[in-house]
Amino acid sequence: MNKKIQVLRYLVSDLIAVAIAWTLFFAFRKKYIEAVKFDIPFQFELSETFYKGLFFVIVLWIGIYYFSGYYKNIYRKSRLKELWQTFAMSFVGVVIIFFVLILDDEVISYKSYYLSFLTLFSLHFTITYIPRLILTTITNHKIQSKKIGFETIIIGGNEKALNLFETLAKQKKSAGNLFVGFVSVHNKEEYPLKKHLELIGNLHNLKNLIRQYNIQEAIIALEPDEHDKIGIIMNKIEGTSITVKIIPSMYDILMGTARMSSLFGEPLIQLSQDLMPVWEENIKRVLDILISIIAIIILSPVYLFLIIGVKSSSTGPIFYAQERIGKFGKPFMIYKFRSMYVGSEKNGPALSKQNDSRITKFGLFMRKLRLDELPQFWNVIIGDMSLVGPRPERQFFIDQIVQKAPQYVHLHKVRPGITSWGQVKFGYAENVDEMIERLKYDIVYIENMSIYVDIKILIYTIKIIFNLEGK
Regarding whether 158 and 140 lie in a shared domain, the answer is: no
Of 9-23, 69-83, 152-166, 421-435, the poorest mean pLDDT is in 421-435
Which of the listed residues 124, 144, 164 is the one where a domain comes to its end?
Answer: 144
Regarding whether 305 and 433 lie in a shared domain, the answer is: yes
Kindly tell me the burial class for residue 247, based on how many C-beta atoms sit within 10 Å of its own C-beta (0-12, 13-18, 19 or more).
buried
- Going by C-alpha positions, the residue among 21, 30, 27, 32 that lies closest to residue 60 is 21
Integer angstrom CA distances of residue 198 from 169, 184, 247, 259:
15, 11, 20, 29
At 272, the pLDDT band (50, 70, 90 cuts) reads: low
194, part of any domain: yes
Contact (Cβ atoms closer than 8 angstroms) between residue 403 and residue 432: no
Regarding whether 249 and 294 lie in a shared domain, the answer is: no
Per-residue pLDDT averaged across 79-89, rounded? 92
Contact (Cβ atoms closer than 8 angstroms) between residue 137 and residue 131: no
CA distance 65 to 445: 28
Regarding whether 361 and 328 lie in a shared domain, the answer is: yes
CA distance 174 to 142: 9
Integer angstrom CA distances of residue 269 from 172, 195, 210, 247:
21, 26, 20, 7
Range of the domain at 246: 150-271
177, part of any domain: yes
CA distance 393 to 415: 12
Mean pLDDT of the chain: 85
Contact (Cβ atoms closer than 8 angstroms) between residue 446 and residue 413: yes
- Going by C-alpha positions, the residue among 406, 25, 54 that lies closest to residue 239 is 406
Regarding whether 267 and 324 lie in a shared domain, the answer is: no
Regarding whether 176 and 231 lie in a shared domain, the answer is: yes
Regarding whether 127 and 244 lie in a shared domain, the answer is: no
pLDDT score at 250:
41
CATH of the domain at 165: 3.40.50.720
471, part of any domain: no
Regarding whether 303 and 212 lie in a shared domain, the answer is: no
352, part of any domain: yes
pLDDT score at 178:
92
Residue 120 has pLDDT above 90, yes or no: yes
Max intra-chain CA distance, the chain:
87
Regarding whether 178 and 63 lie in a shared domain, the answer is: no
What percent of the chain is modeled with pLDDT above 70? 90
Q: What three-state secondary structure class fits 54?
A: helix
pLDDT score at 265:
53
Regarding whether 156 and 133 lie in a shared domain, the answer is: no
CA distance 428 to 306: 21
Regarding whether 160 and 129 lie in a shared domain, the answer is: no
DSSP single-letter state for residue 57: H
At 263, the pLDDT band (50, 70, 90 cuts) reads: very low
Which of the listed residues 213, 237, 271 is the one where a domain comes to its end?
Answer: 271
How do residues 169-207 score in pLDDT, each as one tens digit? 888 888 889 999 999 988 877 899 999 999 998 888 888
Regarding whether 446 and 310 lie in a shared domain, the answer is: yes
At 257, the pLDDT band (50, 70, 90 cuts) reads: very low
CA distance 445 to 413: 12
Per-residue pLDDT averaged across 439-465, rounded? 88
Assessment of whether the complete model's pTM goes beyond 0.75: no
Structural domain count, the chain? 3
DSSP state letters, 1-37? --HHHHHHHHHHHHHHHHHHHHHHHHHHIIIIIIHHH
Kindly tell me the burial class for residue 113, based on how many C-beta atoms sit within 10 Å of its own C-beta (0-12, 13-18, 19 or more).
middle
Q: What three-state secondary structure class fits 189?
A: coil
Which of the listed residues 121, 144, 167 is the one where a domain comes to its end?
Answer: 144
400, part of any domain: yes
Amino acid at 248: P
